[in-house]
Amino acid sequence: VYVAIECEQAAERVARLTRRDREVADDRVSIDIDTSRDRRSAFHFQVSAAGVQSDGLRYEDTELSSEWDEIWEAEVAHTATGWTAEIRIPFRILRLRGDVDTWGFQVRRWTGKTGEIDEWAYAPLDAGGEVSRYGELGPFEGLRPRGNIALVPFALTRFVRTDASVPSAYG
């Protein structure tokens, strides 16, 4: 799934670097996708104007857990009128179901300087629910579940250097 978002803004852009999955008061966009169309759960993907990614799972309609981490890509670019974000989400992480051809979908944009929030599928602040208020995207034809395996290379190493001229309990 590819999503591109253009963020035009007159306010000064706020783009802070931080660790993945850490939310700060900066400019950012997010997309949420309810591929099971149960109106209770969704996948959450967010990228800041600095390119910091955050992801998670929405459950019970209103809750968000950032414990879930997956491999997806996002790129941001600064423009004369604001900034843009491009997000690429592999189908394998969306847990597609063969009997669902329409997804719940939400796009949000936060402007850090003004605190403004824009939503694709509007929901009043005093209204209950989250995932149940998403708009619809689809219908999709020919999308079928596939095997879900990802091999991610990982290496860990340690290097210790000691100076023989400095006394140490470690030798």
Return the number of other C-beta atoms located less than 10 Å from residue 26's C-beta.
19
What is the residue type of 152?
Answer: V
> pLDDT per residue over 85-114, tens digit each?
999 999 889 888 878 889 999 999 999 888
> pLDDT per residue over 23-73, tens digit each?
788 899 999 999 999 999 999 999 999 999 999 999 999 999 999 999 999
Q: How far apart are the first and last CA of the chain?
A: 55
Cis peptide before 139 (omega within 30 of 0): yes
- The alpha-helical segments, DSSP class H, found in 45-86 are none
Residue 104 CA: distances (Å) to CA of 19, 150, 171? 29, 25, 61
Q: Is 155 exposed, middle or buried (0-12, 13-18, 19+ CB in 10 A)?
A: exposed
